[in-house]
Every structure is written in structure tokens, then in C-alpha cells.
Amino acid sequence: MNKADYKNVWVYIENVEGTPKSVGLELLGPAREIAGAMGQKLVAVVISSAAEESVKAAVAYGADEVIVIEGPEYKDYTTDAYVNALYEVVQKYKPAALMIGATNNGRDMAPRVSSRIGTGLTADCTQLAYDAESDNVAWTRPAFGGNLMATILCPDTRPQIGTVRPGVFKKKTPDAKRKAEIVREKIHVPADQIRTKILKVFKEAGGEGVNLEDADVIVSGGRGLGKPENFKVVEELAKALGGVVGASRAAVDAEWISHAHQVGQTGKTVAPKLYIACGISGAIQHVAGMSGSDVIVAINKDPDAPIFDIADYGVVGDLFEVVPALTEEVRKLKA
């Protein structure tokens, strides 16, 4: 492997039913800066049966070039077809770095691509930088339940690959007038080489998908709620603020609310404008998923709860008094 043959920073734009997932567009921001520091191009890669919307978005959010692999076999994500397609274009064009959103499908695909190539992969990064001294991407990620951060380099093999948590980086302002080169690749996978088949799809009970990553306001509940019915006070405040309901691992483990709402190291990473933690002690694994929020409010009756160490506004008090009263205040202010 001659490292000098590998150029450009790639971002994989995950596409679901013709629409790009936010994380790919988020990644174009830091990837642009790294590509700039390296003096190289920013390239987006789209694999889909309906790629156009994602291609347009990738250009508007800053890609210099978009590689598109389109075909009917890419209608739904399958490990075999997607890994093959991404592997083929990587072998052909030889990027220096490849960034993939750490969604379920992104984390399914990335380790197969990296190990097929025999290169390094860093999982679930929350910070990205360019290490000019060694000419490597510096991938920083939490480990040990968020207790420790590690910065990882992949010095000898290319491409350097990493998955990056959704919700960590904010999307830049799109520019619909931007132009970029579009490269279309025909890569077909025979049906008998796709060894998994989707037999049935279940949408989460309760209808609406829980979109924590894109929310401007999140109101989360934890162990302090005491029982599942009490999530109602959290929901009321979220509704008044036009926000989304989150939860700590304790509340999810107790099965008071579904895992889709979980914020933290084993849940989602979020960075809303306003995060309100109700009855959440602030274990490091929760903090790992929300400390990037612009403004953090904590409501907890234990004055020594660690959540207060990271809160911009900490209310020491009974959440069952404070939260409903706050909901009333918000309604008045918004009226």
C-alpha cells in the first residue's frame, strides 16, 4: 500500500427511502475542514435506488464531488450489496479518509469494509481533527462508558475510516447554487449474492419516529420520575416547548420508555439548543450523550447530583412541583 496514492476525504451519505439521513450532511462540515487542511477534495458517496435528493443535498452542504452508485438492489440496506458497492469504489478511487455516520446500518457496514481492505476503523467518534504533524485524521471517541476519551490514529494504512455519532456536529447552511462534479458508477450485485432478505418491517409502536438528533429542545426524564406514568409531566413540558422527550438509561432499563428515547453512551448523542434533565442524576454515560447541548437545565432534588456540574441552570427541587410550574410559565410566555 503506497499512502501517496490515497487522496481526498470521503463522506458516506446514508440514504433512506430517497432521503439523506442528517448525519451524512452533518459530517460534511468537519470533513470540509479536514480536506481543506490536507489541501484535498471533499467527496460524498451515495448508494441508493433513488439517489437524487441525497446528491443534491451533498452538493448544497459542501461536497466538491459526488460518487453515486444507483441500482434497484440498493432499495433497502443489505450488508452484502452495500459493503460490496462501497468497497469497489474505495478500491477504484482510493480516498485518504472515509467518514460514515454511526447509525445502525453505518456500524453494520463500516467494519466489513475496513476489514475487507485490511485498514483501521475508529468507532463512534465525537471529535474529528487533522493531525498535521503526522498527516493523519485524529479520531476522538469516548470509551469505558464515557469515562475516558481516546484519540486514535491510523498511521500506516489507507483509507483511514471512522464512524461518527449522529447529532454531534451541526449541519452547515446549505447553498443550493453550489455546483459539483457527479460521478456515476455502475456496480451490480447478483441477487443470489445477497444472503439476507427483509421479510417484514415494524415501525415503532406509538407511530411517530423519535427524532432526538434533529430536535432543538429535548426534555429528558430519569430515575427521579419513579414510575412510567410520570413521564407525562416531562411530555407536557416538551410539548409546551415544541421539543422531544428523551430519557436516561435508568428510565429505559426500567422499561418506562422505549430505547429510541435514550440519550447517552449507549443511546443517542444529542446537541440541542436547550436540554432539560428532569430527575436525572448525571451519570457519566448520560453526560457523554448530551454535554454538547447549547444550554443545559437540570432539575433534581439532590443538590449534590453530578448533573449540576454540567448544567447552565440548576434547579434544586422536587421535579413534580418544578416541571409542571415551568410548563405553565412556558405556556404563558408563548401565548
Residues 70-109 interacting with other proteins (rule: CB under 8 A): 79-80, 103-104, 107-108
Q: What φ, ψ does residue 87 adopt, rounded to 5°?
A: -60, -45
Using the rule CB under 8 A, give the single segment among 26-34, 53-61, 224-232, 306-314 that binds other proteins: 306-314
Q: Judged by CB under 8 A, which of 179, 198, 229, 304 binds other proteins?
A: 198
> What single-letter amino acid sits at 315?
V
Is 191 an interacting residue with respect to other proteins (CB under 8 A)? no
Q: CA 269, CA 126: separation in Å to the nearest integer?
A: 9
Is 265 an interacting residue with respect to other proteins (CB under 8 A)? yes
Considering the complex, state which of residue 132 and residue 325 has its C-beta at the smaller distance from other proteins. Answer: 325
Q: CA 97, CA 34: separation in Å to the nearest integer?
A: 10
Q: CA 323, CA 225: separation in Å to the nearest integer?
A: 11
CB of 234 to other proteins, least distance (A): 14
Site for other proteins in 284-303 (CB under 8 A): 284-285, 287-288, 291, 294-297, 303
CB of 57 to other proteins, least distance (A): 18
Q: Is residue 235 exposed (0-12), middle (13-18) or buried (19+ Cβ within 10 Å)? A: middle
Is 274 an interacting residue with respect to other proteins (CB under 8 A)? yes
CB of 38 to other proteins, least distance (A): 17
Considering the complex, state which of residue 131 and residue 185 has its C-beta at the smaller distance from other proteins. Answer: 131
Cell, residue 150: 481516546
Q: Judged by CB under 8 A, which of 209, 229, 304, 335 binds other proteins?
A: 209
Q: CA 235, CA 218: separation in Å to the nearest integer?
A: 10
Give the Å distances, CA to CA, from 62 to 19, 46, 100, 177. Answer: 17, 14, 16, 11
Asked if omega into 174 is within 30° of 0 (cis), the reply is no
Site for other proteins in 38-77 (CB under 8 A): none
Site for other proteins in 154-173 (CB under 8 A): 154-157
Cell, residue 159: 483509507
> What single-letter amino acid sits at 335?
A
Q: Judged by CB under 8 A, which of 177, 179, 186, 200 binds other proteins?
A: 200
Q: Judged by CB under 8 A, which of 3, 49, 56, 123 binds other proteins?
A: 123
